[in-house]
Amino acid sequence: MAESSTLPTGFGELEVLAVGMVLLVEALSGLSLNSLTIFSFCKTPELRTPCHLLVLSLALADSGISLNALVAATSSLLRVSHRRWPYGSDGCQVHGFQGFVTALASICSSAAIAWGRYHHYCTRSQLAWNSAVSLVLFVWLSSTFWAALPLLGWGHYDYEPLGTCCTLDYSKGDRNFSSFLFTMSFFNFAMPLFITITSYRLMEQKLGKSGHLQVNTTLPARTLLLGWGPYAILYLYAVIADVTSISPKLQMVPALIAKMVPTINAINYALGNEMVCRGIWQCLSPQKSEKDRAK
């Protein structure tokens, strides 16, 4: 998909603007909610625990996805007037790399949280700081490693059909892409999904009947499947068939769905947690929190 000085095939000006506005709303909602989560961790001592460190890692990854969406939204709005991706080919590589790192880190951080919750609820022991820090470092180093491989020749970053954001180039579906896709997907989608489903299922079996389980055990796995599954289906189709048979508009749907994940994660992991909500409220109303501490 080469950079073009005209509107992309299959899109009119209103459609490009509509996609840009959707991306802008997704970006701002994800950034605002996850920024509040990060800020609350920094300002609230009660949240500085090993388990909440995993949630902080997820919030940082999701903020990166939202920043990626913000760049794509800006590019969509500029595309109508400038008729081209405004950041050049090098900017496309950076945008694709940054988006891929944060997407993989988000998926793996969700699995890490699932394992951390299983450890907390089923072993009745606190997660150790060295375990949490090691887990977070592994998530980000692993994500960076896999995202760097397309820059080194295994896989390739290129423009998506709208030409306003960059991702893995699935248009060719050749052996280079398919070998990278299957290897990367096993370690960064199939395994995290298995860990997430298994951890919450074991929690349900052990604690569901006792009524001590205080977390949503179904939403995390559904978010992974519904948020990232469309991308997986599109990539798989590109391996086994000619992806150009799918309309450009339909090819953009997985990207729009994936950019919703940061908002859903913030609602589930932050706003759905009483302690994190309390920390966010304290950050938003510092005068009240100081009075509460004085009492």
The pLDDT of residue 143 is 97
The pLDDT of residue 8 is 65
In a domain, 30, yes or no: yes
pLDDT (tens place) for every residue of the chain, 295 residues total? 445 556 666 677 788 888 889 999 999 999 999 998 888 887 777 778 888 899 999 999 999 999 999 999 988 877 666 656 778 889 999 999 999 999 999 999 999 999 998 888 887 778 899 999 999 999 999 999 999 999 998 989 998 888 888 899 888 777 888 899 999 999 999 999 999 999 988 888 877 655 566 677 788 999 999 999 999 999 999 888 888 888 888 999 999 999 999 999 999 887 776 666 666 666 666 555 444 444 4
State how far the Cα of 31 lies from the Cα of 59, in Å rounded to an integer. 9
In a domain, 34, yes or no: yes
The pLDDT of residue 241 is 86
The DSSP string of the chain is ----SSPPTT--HHHHHHHHHHHHHHHHHHHHHHHHHHHHHHH-GGG-SHHHHHHHHHHHHHHHHHHHHHHHHHHHHHHHHH-S-TTHHHHHHHHHHHHHHHHHHHHHHHHHHHHHHHHHHHH-SPPPHHHHHHHHHHHHHHHHHHHHGGGGTSS-EEE-TTSSSEEE--SS--HHHHHHHHHHHIIIIIHHHHHHHHHHHHHHHHHTTTT---S-SSHHHHHHHHHHHHHHHHHHHHHHS-GGGS-HHHHHHHHHHHTTHHHHHIIIIIIT-HHHHHHHHHHH-HHHHHHHHH-
The pLDDT of residue 69 is 94
In a domain, 48, yes or no: yes
Q: How many CA atoms lie within 13 Å of 225's alpha carbon, on the beta-carbon side?
A: 9
The pLDDT of residue 49 is 86
In a domain, 57, yes or no: yes
The pLDDT of residue 291 is 46
In a domain, 155, yes or no: yes
State how far the Cα of 289 lies from the Cα of 46, in Å rounded to an integer. 13
The pLDDT of residue 293 is 47
The pLDDT of residue 292 is 47
The candidate with the shortest Cα–Cα distance to 149, out of 104, 189, 195, is 104
For residue 109, what are the CA distances in angstroms to 7, 104, 202, 236, 287? 37, 8, 19, 24, 33
Residues listed for the chain = 295
List the structure tokens of 108. 């793996």
For position 230, which CATH number holds? 1.20.1070.10
Q: Could you tell me the pTM of the whole model?
A: 0.88
How many domains, the chain? 1
In a domain, 295, yes or no: no
List the structure tokens of 237. 């189709």
In a domain, 10, yes or no: no
φ/ψ (deg, to 5) at 159: -70, 145
State which amino acid sits at residue 104.
L
State how far the Cα of 125 lies from the Cα of 48, in Å rounded to an integer. 16
In a domain, 79, yes or no: yes
State how far the Cα of 42 lies from the Cα of 263, in Å rounded to an integer. 20
Cβ 176 vs Cβ 154: under 8 Å: yes
Burial degree of 128 (CB within 10 A; 0-12, 13-18, 19+): exposed
Residue 121: domain span: 15-281
The pLDDT of residue 2 is 44
